[in-house]
Chains A and B, each alone.
Chain A
Amino acid sequence: MKTYVRNFLWRLWVPIILIAFWQIILRNSTNPYFPAPSQILADTKYVITADWVKTSLRSSAITFLAGYLIGSISGILIGAFIGANQILREIFTPITNFIRSIPSVAKVPVIMAMLGIGQATRIATVAIAVLFPMLMTTIRGIATTDMNVLEMAKLLRFGQIRTLFLVRLPAATGEILTGLQAAVQIGILVMVISEMLGSGIGLGAFIIHSQSTFMIADMWVGIFILGIIGLILNELFLYTERRVAPWYFSSKGLR
Chain B
Amino acid sequence: MRIDPKFSKLSLTLLIGFVLWELGSLIANVRNFPHSWVVFGDLTKLIVTTTFWKSLFITLGLSGAGFIIGALFACVIGIFVALKKTGDLATSGVINFVRSIPSVVFLPLLIASIGSTARTALILTSFVITFKLVTYVVRGIGETDPILIESARVMGLRGFSKIIYLYLPSTTSIVGTGLRLSATQAFGTVVAAGIVAGTPGLGSALLLAESSANYPRVFSYVFVMGVIGSLIYSLFNRTENRLIHWRVSV
Contact = CB atoms under 8 A, between A and B. Distances in A.
B57 interface: no
B24 A15 contact: no
Interface in A177-214: 185, 188-189, 192-193, 196-197, 204, 207-208, 210-212
B192 A98 contact: no
Given A15-B97, A33-B113, A211-B112, A105 B104 contact: yes
B225 A102 contact: yes
A189 B104 contact: yes
B191 interface: yes
Contact of B109 (A11, A110, A114, A211): A211
Q: Which applies to chain A's interface (DSSP): helix, strand, loop or mixed?
A: helix
Contacts of A228: 97
Q: Which applies to chain B's interface (DSSP): helix, strand, loop or mixed?
A: helix
Contacts of A227: 97-98, 100-101
A216 to B, nearest CB: 7
B222 A106 contact: yes
Interface residues of B, number: 58
A223 B110 CA distance: 13
A226 B108 contact: no
A11 B92 contact: yes
A10 B90 contact: yes
A114 B33 contact: yes
B28 A230 contact: no
Nearest to B113: A33
B196 A196 contact: yes
Contacts of B225: 101-103, 106
B229 interface: yes
Interface of B: 9, 12-13, 16-17, 20, 24, 27-28, 32-33, 86, 89-94, 96-106, 108-109, 111-113, 184, 187-188, 191-192, 195-196, 203, 206-207, 210, 215, 218-219, 221-222, 225-230, 232-233
17 contacts: A10-B90, A12-B93, A14-B93, A87-B9, A103-B191, A103-B192, A105-B196, A108-B195, A113-B28, A114-B33, A192-B102, A210-B108, A212-B108, A223-B105, A226-B100, A229-B100, A230-B101
